[in-house]
Amino acid sequence: MLLNGRTIAERLEAKLGTEFKDRLIITPILDRARQINPDAASIDVRLGQKFVIPKRTKVSHLDHLADGHDRQIELYKDESFVPIGDHFILHPRQFVLGETLEWIHLPLDLSAYVVGRSSWGRDGLIIATATGAHPGYSGIITLEISNVGEIPIYLYPGLSIAQLFIQEVDRKSVV
């Protein structure tokens, strides 16, 4: 069952036991009213400050089956940190890795997936992720961000960029 905003808010406030593993945690939530709509089926997540930018000129190709793929992939990346209040310019047909500002922890009875916000999608911004966050996951979520439009897009850390959909998991299937 997909949780609505009201249930997400209740789970965030609930102390489902004293153990960390039993709690839903999403932090920081600076404006609860803007991020959690009680009648929606998600919580908004914001763009973090770190971007990983591919450098086309460093590698001729990527081959996941080749020896040394991990070393090769490191040559392919450059990192950029963007302070709050500043912006990152995503050019047309550019791809970067971003991250959520929020850190999440899912208890063993919940899983989640991330979907880009339609308001950004209408501008040509596509948010794709390895969408599933499994029960017990803790960390920030990596966002695969592409500009499929024709105009550069300013990305501001701290702005709502995607939605986190949270659903219950059949506990019988969880080890």
150 is catalytic: no
With CA atoms as reference, report the closest residue to 102 among 161, 21, 38, 23: 161
Contact 33, 160 (CB under 8 A): no
Provide the β-strand partners of residue 90.
153
Extract the runs of DSSP E, i.e. beta strands, from the chain.
Answer: 25-27, 43-46, 50-54, 77-81, 88-90, 95-99, 103-105, 110-116, 125-128, 132-133, 138-139, 142-147, 153-155, 160-168
Set 79, 102, 144, 150: catalytic member: 144
Which residues does the annotation mark as catalytic? 144
